[in-house]
């Protein structure tokens, strides 16, 4: 790896990092705006145009609040909790393919932090680590409510990770690759996985709601039972980090959903646009602009799913704990296994039949 390549990679990672943070930041604004609109209110509209400076004001407020650590808390772990949550949330964005390639002087740069052949496995590993942030924070607080909230979060994440992984296996059986870039390029030309895996998609999106601790699965921070859940004792920017990590997770899972099921940066009529642009603007510029359009489409999809998260949040009430566990273990896991069997049968029998019939 020579120096230019290293610099380009660094720049890509930095851009991905900043983009993730900015999108997460504006999701907080979006959440309040969507909440307001759904409840027939205006939402924040005082700070800046349409309240666009609200995230900055919130962050400023968070920073200037007293950074309090309870006397009997484990100080080191108390600080490590939100840091871990933030770290694991940010790590996952590294392998997401934001677009196809970018051409700079014969260098072809992939718009992806790390081109990894085990991309989706990496995401799963990092997301599974996310529970440490919550667990460590909840335990270090030395507070029963925090601990209960953390335990709930841990058990919920573990339960739903099983169904999530199983629903993903169906995708992997079709793509026979763990690389996210590969999975996206296989969906080129309208072959979006959602058309082949509707059941898998429903299971996956339900599980990602649970993984992000979003309504209707936000039991870890259930105010009516647990005061504030795992972040009861937190204040100032440490609380801010926990909340922020949730929004980053939301963006990551939205991006993963659009990569896995909605073709990532692919969109209908992509090849036509590409040929028109390369003809009109030449090989390099046309290619780059086509890539940018694809990236825009990708972010559009991701933002739609963030919106969907918020939309669901202001529609559905929270599950009870036993309902949550019943849904996870007794409904989603059998359904996911059923989905695997169906997919296996389709890949083995239906696909050769259809290809034979088409030829």
Partner 1 sequence: MQLTNRSKQVSNKEMTFMERAYLPAIATGLAITIKHFFTKKVTIEYPEVKRYLGPVFRGRHILKRDADGKERCTACGLCAVACPAEAISMVAAERETGEENLYREEKYAAVYEVNMLRCIFCGLCEEACPKQAVYLRHDEFIPVFTERDQVIWGKDLLVEDMSNRYTREAWTKEEALALDMKRASGEVTNVVPRAIP
Binding residues for partner 1, rule: CB under 8 A, are: 34, 37-42, 45, 202, 311-312, 314-316
Q: To the nearest whole angstrom, how small is the minimum distance from the Cβ of residue 177 to partner 1? A: 30
Minimum CB distance to partner 1 smaller for 41 or for 61:
41
Minimum CB distance to partner 1 smaller for 45 or for 278:
45
Measured from the Cβ of residue 326, the count of other Cβ atoms closer than 10 Å reads: 13
Running DSSP on this structure, what letter comes out for residue 95? G
Q: To the nearest whole angstrom, how small is the minimum distance from the Cβ of residue 225 to partner 1? A: 22
Minimum CB distance to partner 1 smaller for 30 or for 264:
30
Provide the terminal-to-terminal Cα distance of the chain, rounded to the nearest Å: 44
Running DSSP on this structure, what letter comes out for residue 176? -
Q: To the nearest whole angstrom, how small is the minimum distance from the Cβ of residue 42 to partner 1? A: 5
Q: Helices 283-313 & 236-261, crossing angle to 10 degrees?
A: 120
The answer to whether 47 and 56 have CB atoms below 8 angstroms apart is yes
Minimum CB distance to partner 1 smaller for 227 or for 312:
312
Q: To the nearest whole angstrom, how small is the minimum distance from the Cβ of residue 39 to partner 1? A: 7
Q: To the nearest whole angstrom, how small is the minimum distance from the Cβ of residue 41 to partner 1? A: 6
Minimum CB distance to partner 1 smaller for 316 or for 354:
316
The answer to whether 246 and 236 have CB atoms below 8 angstroms apart is no
Minimum CB distance to partner 1 smaller for 117 or for 323:
323
The answer to whether 312 and 253 have CB atoms below 8 angstroms apart is no
Q: Which helix (H) or strand (E) holds 109?
A: strand 107-110
Q: Pick from 353, 340, 23, 348: which is nearest to 197 by CA?
A: 340
What distance in Å separates the CA atoms of residue 134 and residue 150, rounded to the nearest whole number?
A: 6
Q: To the nearest whole angstrom, how small is the minimum distance from the Cβ of residue 40 to partner 1? A: 6
């Amino acid at each position: 790896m020579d120096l230019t390549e290293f610099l380009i990679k660094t720049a890509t990672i930095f851009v991905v990092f900043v983009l993730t943070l900015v999108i997460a930041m504006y999701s907080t604004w979006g959440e309040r705006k969507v909440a307001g609109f759904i409840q027939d209110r205006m939402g924040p509209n005082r700070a800046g145009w349409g309240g666009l400076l609200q995230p900055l004001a919130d962050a400023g407020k968070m920073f200037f609040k007293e950074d309090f650590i309870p006397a009997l808390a484990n100080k080191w772990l108390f600080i490590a909790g939100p840091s871990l949550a933030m770290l694991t949330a940010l790590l996952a964005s590294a392998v997401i393919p934001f677009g196809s390639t970018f051409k700079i002087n014969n260098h072809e740069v992939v718009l992806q932090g790390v081109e990894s052949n085990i991309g989706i496995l990496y995401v799963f590993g990092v997301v599974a680590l996310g529970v440490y942030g919550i667990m460590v924070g909840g335990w270090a607080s030395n507070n029963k409510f925090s601990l209960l909230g953390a335990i709930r979060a841990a058990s919920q994440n573990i339960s739903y990770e099983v169904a999530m992984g199983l629903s993903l296996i169906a995708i992997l059986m079709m793509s026979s690759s763990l690389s996210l870039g590969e999975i996206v390029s296989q969906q080129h030309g309208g072959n979006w996985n959602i058309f082949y895996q509707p059941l898998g998609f429903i299971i996956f999106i339900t599980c990602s709601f649970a993984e992000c601790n979003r309504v209707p699965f936000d039991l870890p921070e259930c105010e009516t039972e647990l005061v504030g859940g795992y972040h009861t004792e937190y204040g100032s920017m440490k609380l801010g980090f926990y909340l922020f990590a949730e929004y980053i997770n939301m963006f990551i899972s939205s991006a993963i959903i659009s990569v896995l099921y909605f073709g990532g940066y692919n969109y209908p009529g992509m090849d036509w646009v590409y040929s028109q642009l390369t003809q009109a603007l030449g090989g390099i510029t046309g290619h780059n602009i086509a890539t940018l359009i694809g990236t825009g489409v990708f972010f559009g999809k991701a933002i739609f799913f963030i919106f969907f998260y918020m939309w669901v949040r202001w529609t559905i009430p929270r599950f009870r704990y036993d309902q949550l566990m019943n849904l996870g273990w007794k409904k989603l896991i059998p359904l996911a296994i059923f989905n695997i069997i169906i997919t296996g049968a389709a890949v083995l029998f239906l696909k050769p039949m259809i290809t034979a019939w088409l030829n």
